[in-house]
Amino acid sequence: MLRAIGNIASLRWRFARQVMLPIGVVALVAIVIAGAGLWWMTQESNHFAIAKQEEKMRRAIAAAVDDLAYEQQSAAQCAPLVRELAKDHPDSAWLDENVGGWLNQMFGHDQVYILDANDVPVYAAVEGAPDPMGAFRKAQPVLAALIDRERGRSPLPNARHSRTSLGTPGPDFTARTRPETVHVSEVAALFGRPAAISVMKISAPKHDVVERPGSAFIMVVVVFLDGRYLHQVAHRNMIDGMRYSSVADPVGGEHLVPLVDEAGGQHGYFMWQPDLPGTKMMRVLVPITIASVSALILALLLLARWLWNSVRALESTVADLQTSEAQAQHLALHDMLTGLPNRALLADRLERARARARRGAMLAVLTLDLDRFKQVNDTLGHHAGDMLIKELGLRLASILQSTDTVARLGGDEFTILLCDIEHDDNIEKVCQRIFAAIQRPFDLAGTNVYVGISIGIASAPVAAIDPSELMRKADIALYCAKAAGRNCHRYFVPSMDEAVKFRRAVEDELRAALARGDELQVHYQPEVSAYTGAIIGLEALLRWNNPTRGTIAPDMFIPIAEESGLITQISEWVLAEAARVALRWPHLFIAVNLSPIQFRSSGLAERTTEIVRSVGCDPTRIELEVTETVLIEDSEQCQTALEALRSAGFRIALDDFGTGYSSLSHLRRFQVDKIKIDRSFTKNIGEGTESTAIVAAVVALGRAMGLTVTAEGVETHDQMRFLAIAGCNQLQGYLFSPALPEDAIAGLLAGQYDAHRAEIAVA
């Protein structure tokens, strides 16, 4: 969990550095470029527009001056005027009509003055009306400089708008007056107003009037550039809010152009709100740009979010993969059910331990096998079996040290590897701890179950060093432990190996013997009536005459047959033999032993019935002897098989009664017909042991339950008498006869037991 959080934190950091940072930088650069570009474009566009307006303004002013001179020319270059002025008293009405009034009406000139050779005004008109010279006096200081220039009294050179006698016009001359017209035209501030002023020599163009130089009349015209004129200029050039001020006092971003005369003198300022197309454009473009950049940033953020989700999904997939890889690795080396190491991991640990064993360390392999696992599985179900195995795994793991290994190899097979053992006693202690752990009942979904365990032990370097050898030898020891009974442990000793080899050889020989069919024989041991002493039945007992080993006792080879699975085949052969013999002596029952192994395969009842019937024998003639193990195994399969056998007509006898659990509930549940008291009890009768009491009690109980009671292993008359008195129904033992071949039984039946019959009658 902590690792996952750490991973997320580092992922977040990497994502921020590798994705978000570049995206942020790109977005920032885009914003800066867009902003700067917009700003630059606005500035450029505004500058350009202002420059253009400024230029228009300058041109308009220049044009005003040139226009003034051009218009003035029409009045000043006029022979009638020269003639009129040549009079001693020029007619002022004529002057009003043809000069002052005319210029004002025609061209809107504001002031007109005519000066004589001494610069004394002879005529003055203001706004087209004759003026009593008040205005001229006020204007004179401004006009004087221009008049001086026109008269040639001022050294100022000719410029754009003027043509004087002092020189030729300059290259930038713009006036449209005739070349012979002498005039000085300028801008200036007059009465605090901007004005174009033109001073022109009055002459006659056609030279019909001769004037002396320096004595000519001059005409001064003034047109104010504010008011109507300014309005016109602004209107023509689409300039808003044009105004004139003698001082530079622009308000609210007004642009200003100084009113400059040709000598560079400033005469106030024209000011206006400049047309700013850049700013207008920006007003449109800024929201668009903001929207576009926002959309871009949003798209980038969405992209980043998508990327982040993808990266996280990818990261979690990778993490899942790693986890599942780790899980797969764990699974490969561990048992699914218990989580304990499996065979592969055990092999690996054994291999490592081998190296230590070579250096002298002692280690031990313990193989374990539950005594009643199959029964739990069969009776309580596989789920309960799994619970048992799991709990057992936990208990085993809890009693071991961390250096030891407990592995589950499958089923109820567990193996323990003890490492670095200091003393043999340690193994013994571990075994005791295992038994103690097993002793406690296992709670399997509400059912308390008790199990036993068998342990086989092989230690290195004494038994072997090679891991597989160690395992094999521990298995052999386990086998011996199991053979020795419940809750046993056995250390491997070399003789066990011999025994195993012997068993294997016997198994091979038994298989061969079965195939050939000449070495195996069935003998029959009589069972007699405890009341009459008459033979009432025969127990079929298997005999094996091995050509090399001689006669082999069933106690020895039956377990081998059971283990190798040959028992079914053997039993069926015995059963067929017994059924055949039953036909020979119809007044006797024939008892046949069934192995618990046979109950593990289904179809036992059907097979048994079929075999018996196939020889023409009625199942009621056959008594099947089962051991308590069969009942204890308690599985549904056993129960159904027994019930099926009984309903087919077979009688069921419980063999070796008293050696196992001897549970009465079993007797009741399985409805056996007969119990056979084990020969170990018979043997101890009358020797002052508990056996006597037990036998008496068992007989009483059996009879109370309505069962036939047989005693096995009756060897003495005392035993016979005791058992008969105790209430046994039937007796079996060497006292009457050992198991004999069929032919010998025939002889016996012919009358050999008559003597015993007399004796029983006495008893």
Q: Which residues lie near ligand C2E (CB under 6 A)? A: 525, 540-542, 553-555, 558, 571, 574, 593, 595, 625, 655-656, 679, 712-715, 732-734, 738-739
Minimum CB–partner distance for residue 625 and Ca ion (Å): 4
Q: Which residue has the tokens 């192994």?
A: 597
Secondary structure of 615-630 in the HEC alphabet?
CCCCHHHEEEEEEHHH
Minimum CB–partner distance for residue 654 and Ca ion (Å): 10
Compare residues 47 and 549 and give the one whose CB is closer to ligand C2E: 549
Minimum CB–partner distance for residue 558 and Ca ion (Å): 11
Minimum CB–partner distance for residue 437 and ligand C2E (Å): 34
Choosing among Ca ion, ligand C2E, none, which partner's interface includes residue 194 (Cβ < 5 to 8 Å by kind)? none
CA distances from 484 to 453, 554, 655 (A): 12, 17, 20
Strand partners, 552: 544
Asked whether 347 and 467 are in contact (CB, 8 A), the reply is yes
Q: What is the DSSP string of 613-678?
A: HHTT--GGGEEEEEEHHHHHH--HHHHHHHHHHHHHT-EEEEEEETSS---HHHHHHHT-SEEEE-
Distance CA(243)–CA(272), nearest Å, equals 6
Minimum CB–partner distance for residue 683 and ligand C2E (Å): 7
Compare residues 188 and 590 and give the one whose CB is closer to ligand C2E: 590
Summarize as ranges the residues that interact with Ca ion (CB under 5 A).
Answer: 593, 625, 655-656, 712
Compare residues 462 and 576 and give the one whose CB is closer to ligand C2E: 576
Compare residues 207 and 584 and give the one whose CB is closer to ligand C2E: 584
Choosing among Ca ion, ligand C2E, none, which partner's interface includes residue 114 (Cβ < 5 to 8 Å by kind)? none
Per-residue burial over 280-315, b = 16 or more CB atoms within 10 Å of its CB, e = otherwise? eebeebeeebeeebeeebeebeeebeeebeebeeeb
Amino acid at 36: A
Secondary structure of 345-401 in the HEC alphabet?
HHHHHHHHHHHHHHCCCEEEEEEEEECCHHHHHHHHCHHHHHHHHHHHHHHHHHCCC
Choosing among ligand C2E, Ca ion, none, which partner's interface includes residue 623 (Cβ < 5 to 8 Å by kind)? none
Choosing among ligand C2E, Ca ion, none, which partner's interface includes residue 733 (Cβ < 5 to 8 Å by kind)? ligand C2E
What tokens appear for 422 in the block?
């200091």
Minimum CB–partner distance for residue 586 and ligand C2E (Å): 22
Compare residues 482 and 489 and give the one whose CB is closer to ligand C2E: 482
Asked whether 225 and 198 are in contact (CB, 8 A), the reply is no
Distance CA(84)–CA(338), nearest Å, equals 140
Minimum CB–partner distance for residue 522 and ligand C2E (Å): 7
Choosing among ligand C2E, Ca ion, none, which partner's interface includes residue 555 (Cβ < 5 to 8 Å by kind)? ligand C2E
Compare residues 404 and 623 and give the one whose CB is closer to ligand C2E: 623
Distance CA(392)–CA(435), nearest Å, equals 11
Compare residues 277 and 554 and give the one whose CB is closer to ligand C2E: 554
Compare residues 199 and 626 and give the one whose CB is closer to Ca ion: 626
Distance CA(507)–CA(467), nearest Å, equals 27
Compare residues 474 and 739 and give the one whose CB is closer to ligand C2E: 739
Compare residues 418 and 528 and give the one whose CB is closer to ligand C2E: 528
E-strand spans in 49-204? 111-115, 121-126, 129-130, 183-190, 193-201
Compare residues 339 and 554 and give the one whose CB is closer to ligand C2E: 554
C-beta pairs of 344-353 under 8 Å, 24+ apart in sequence: 345/405, 345/407, 346/405, 346/407, 346/409, 346/415, 346/417, 347/467, 349/405, 349/417, 350/417, 350/467, 350/470, 350/471, 351/467, 353/417, 353/419, 353/460, 353/467
Choosing among ligand C2E, Ca ion, none, which partner's interface includes residue 542 (Cβ < 5 to 8 Å by kind)? ligand C2E
Give the residue among 337, 402, 73 at the shortest CA–CA distance from 219. Answer: 73
CA distances from 414 to 335, 395, 411, 709 (A): 11, 12, 8, 42
Minimum CB–partner distance for residue 654 and ligand C2E (Å): 11
Asked whether 68 and 223 are in contact (CB, 8 A), the reply is yes
Minimum CB–partner distance for residue 756 and ligand C2E (Å): 14
Q: Which residue has the tokens 């977005």?
A: 27
Minimum CB–partner distance for residue 590 and Ca ion (Å): 12
Minimum CB–partner distance for residue 356 and ligand C2E (Å): 47
Peptide bond into 90 cis (omega under 30): no
Compare residues 661 and 734 and give the one whose CB is closer to ligand C2E: 734
Choosing among ligand C2E, Ca ion, none, which partner's interface includes residue 259 (Cβ < 5 to 8 Å by kind)? none
Amino acid at 207: H
Coil vs helix vs strand at 489: strand
Minimum CB–partner distance for residue 732 and Ca ion (Å): 8
